[in-house]
Structures are given as structure tokens and as C-alpha cells.
Amino acid sequence: MVASPGSWLEASARAQAGDGDGSGRGVALAAVAADLEPADVVLIDRAGLGEVPASRAARALVVPVVARGELADDDAGDALVGLRAALGAVAACGRAVERIAAGLGPAPREARAELEIDEPRIQRQLDKLLAGDRRIGDHEAKVLLAAYGVPVTRQAVATTPSAATRVAKKAGYPVEIRPWGSDAPSERAGCPVERGISTAAEVRRAFLAVLGAAGLPSAEADGAAVIVRETPPAGRELCATIAQLGPLGWTVWIEVAGAPAPVAAPAPLRLVDAAMLAAAVTATRAGEPEPDRVALANLLRRATHLAVDQGFERVELGRVIAAPKGARSLVVDAEIIR
């Protein structure tokens, strides 16, 4: 920022360079002409200094800025109003340049080579599915996701209360229990889930409760079963969907509670697009730790490769936890339509 000494723009530049933008990243910003180093973009106080010395901005894009709208002079040409708006415009242009450099559209199929996919595990799970089953339920969908390196809840299927108790002990109390089966609805569609189960007696009660709530038989001979899973970590929750959208082709979009609209990108995700989707997920309260967006971007990227590689009609990650650093961001509820 090139600004007149003592001007509002100089003070604003110094304040933002010192305080950052609230995200913890800081604002990369030189303050006044005397401190100017070679840069990609130079914001200049048009009302004060006029021109930037050519030796100091030989390769920079020079953008005039005025402190307030009433200081703009139509005869002097266009200018951005206010330093914060100017920085926002520069950041938007920078993201566009990065996006163009990375390439447009979905990631190439060969990008899957770096994901270390467990191909035998995928094939074993697909071989277990019945030919007529169009919907792949939560547990089987998570097996496929895990083969692509997508973190999912630790869980197992139990057909009796005693088996459910053994699984719960292995997973570690407290646990959660929900019905198992390709016909069991997703949690977004109202699947009953018993949470906060901390004892063997509660496991037996929850076993019968979820089957009854789902209208399923509770007798072992009738083939009823439940999923017993670990309690997921606290974090920001979102839903991600991967499907083909007419002429747009494969697309992934995420929905976050409180966000004004879904955010979408072509699938499978490029790294820059995965980061863009993850950036839309923020903490909801002051003082709450920010989610680990790198882990979330990796999760979304791997899930999109699964959907496109296997040619599924739709992959629905109905509940994803974007946890803070140090905890596992993971898929809690999933279903696949073949």
C-alpha cells in the first residue's frame, strides 16, 4: 500500500498488516512507499502520491484506491473505495489466477493414483452386494469410502444384544446404535439413532428400541441387526452430495447449517476446489476452534473419486463432522445409490 504519511489509508494499512484479517493468517501488506518491496499488486492512494516509482513495481499491477467514496474523481479514472474492499478484490483475483493455473473442470482420472486406494477391498464389498440392490446402506457405503481413504466412524454390525454389547466395549463407551440394512433410511430421512449409550444394559435397551422405532423384527431368527458405532467428535456438521447434474456432469455440493446457499464444484475435486469447499465451513461461535479444513478437503476429494470411478448414481454423505485439528474429521452417515 502506497499512501501519504498521516493519511487514513496509511493508518489502515499499518493496522491491518499488524492485526491480520481475523483468520489467523495475517494480511501480507507493505505499509508506505518507504517500505515498499517488489510485489504482485500495489494499491496506491490516488489522492496523495500519484504514481509508484517504476523501479519498485516493475511487474506489479497498480490499483488506485481512495479512502472514501466522496473522494473519488470521475475525471481521474476508476478507483477502488476503501482498503478492505481493495484487499478483497486483490484476493479474489489471486484465487482466480490460482484456479486457472490449476486447470478448469474436474480433476483428471489419473489424479486417483496418489490416493492409495484399496482396490481389493472395494471389489470384495461390491461382490457382496446383491444385483438387485440399488441402494447401498450406511455400513456398506462406509466400507467403500474407507477403501478410498475417507475417514468414517468405527463401527460394526450386531445381530443380537450380546453381540452389540461386545462391539460397544471394543468401540469404547459411549456409543451410538442405529438400524442396519439397505432399507434403513438415512439419518436425514429420519433413521432412529440412540446416542450416549454408556452401559451394557443401555446397549440391550437401545438394540430393541431402534429396531422397534424402525418397524423391524427384534428376533435373531428374523435377521434383524443394528450398527454399533463410536460417538463422533464434536465439530461443525455439514452434508455433502456427489451426483451427475445434467449438462454440468459430475458435481459435488455441500450444505452447511447457517450458510446462505450450498457451495458446489466439479467432481472429482481438484485440490484447489476441495480447499474452496472446505473454506466455506467455519466455526459458529466466538472462541470455538476452527475446523481442520485440510482434513475436510482431503475427505471430500477422496469421496468424489469414489463416486466417479465406480459410476454410482449418487453418493450422499448425510452427516460429516469437520472437527478441529487434533480430532478426526469423518463421515457419520452415508448412503450410495447405484
Nearest in space to 7 (alpha carbons), one of 36, 15, 28, 20: 15
Report which of residues 211 and 37 the model is more confident about: 211
| Structural domain includes residue 281 | yes
| Structural domain includes residue 132 | no
- Give the Cα separation of 296 and 292 in Å (integer): 6
Beta bridge partners of 273: none
| Structural domain includes residue 119 | no
The yes-or-no verdict on residue 186 having pLDDT over 70 is yes
- Give the Cα separation of 184 and 332 in Å (integer): 15
pTM: 0.76
CATH number of the structural domain spanning residue 183: 3.30.1490.20
| Structural domain includes residue 199 | yes
CB 92 within 8 A of CB 71: no
| Structural domain includes residue 143 | no
Domain boundary among 168, 196, 230: 230
Instruction: Write out pLDDT tens, residues 224-274.
Output: 899 999 999 999 999 999 999 999 999 999 999 877 778 999 999 999 899
The yes-or-no verdict on residue 22 having pLDDT over 60 is no
- Give the Cα separation of 325 and 194 in Å (integer): 27
> Mean pLDDT throughout 211-223?
74
State what percent of residues in the chain have pLDDT above 70. Answer: 86
- Give the Cα separation of 110 and 186 in Å (integer): 32
Q: What is the pLDDT of residue 26?
A: 37
Domain boundary among 196, 211, 230: 230
Q: Are residues 217 and 163 in the same domain?
A: yes
Mean pLDDT of the chain: 86
Report which of residues 214 and 178 the model is more confident about: 178
Q: What is the pLDDT of residue 19?
A: 56
Q: Are residues 252 and 291 in the same domain?
A: yes
Surface-to-core class of residue 256, CB atoms within 10 Å of its CB (0-12 exposed, 13-18 middle, 19+ buried): buried
Q: Are residues 87 and 159 in the same domain?
A: no
Annotate 185-220 with b (16+ C-beta within 10 A) or e (fewer): bbbeeebbbbeebeebebbbebbebbbeebebeeee
State what percent of residues in the chain have pLDDT above 90. Answer: 56
Mark residue 173 as left, alpha or beta (left: phi above 0; alpha: psi -120 to 50; beta: remaining): beta
Report which of residues 230 and 44 the model is more confident about: 230
The yes-or-no verdict on residue 204 having pLDDT over 70 is yes
Q: What is the pLDDT of residue 31?
A: 42
**What angle (nearest 5°) sits at the alpha carbon of residue 320, between those of residues 179 and 243?**
90
Q: What is the pLDDT of residue 102?
A: 78
The yes-or-no verdict on residue 219 having pLDDT over 70 is no
User: At 60, is the pLDDT very low, low, confident or very high (cuts 50, 70, 90)?
Assistant: confident
Domain boundary among 230, 261, 295: 230
| Structural domain includes residue 56 | yes
3-state secondary structure of 294: helix
Annotate 312-321 with b (16+ C-beta within 10 A) or e (fewer): beebbbbbbb
Q: What is the pLDDT of residue 12?
A: 82
Q: Are residues 214 and 264 in the same domain?
A: no
Element (H, E) at 42: strand 41-45
- Give the Cα separation of 331 and 189 in Å (integer): 16
Q: What is the pLDDT of residue 5?
A: 76
Q: What is the pLDDT of residue 250?
A: 97
Measure Cα distances from 225 to 12, 241, 276 in Å: 63, 27, 39
Annotate 156-172 with b (16+ C-beta within 10 A) or e (fewer): bebeebebbbebbeebe
The yes-or-no verdict on residue 21 having pLDDT over 70 is no
The yes-or-no verdict on residue 54 having pLDDT over 80 is no
- Give the Cα separation of 116 and 112 in Å (integer): 8
The yes-or-no verdict on residue 33 having pLDDT over 60 is no
| Structural domain includes residue 23 | yes
Give the total number of structural domains in the chain. Answer: 3
- Give the Cα separation of 206 and 197 in Å (integer): 8
- Give the Cα separation of 119 and 306 in Å (integer): 11
3-state secondary structure of 49: coil
Range of the domain at 225: 154-230
Measure Cα distances from 205 to 3, 201, 215, 251 in Å: 70, 6, 16, 41
User: At 56, is the pLDDT very low, low, confident or very high (cuts 50, 70, 90)?
Assistant: low
CATH number of the structural domain spanning residue 312: 3.30.470.20
Instruction: Write out pLDDT tens, residues 281-329.
Output: 988 777 788 999 999 999 999 999 999 999 999 999 999 999 999 999 9
Cell of 248: 454440468
Q: What is the pLDDT of residue 93?
A: 86
CB 136 within 8 A of CB 147: no
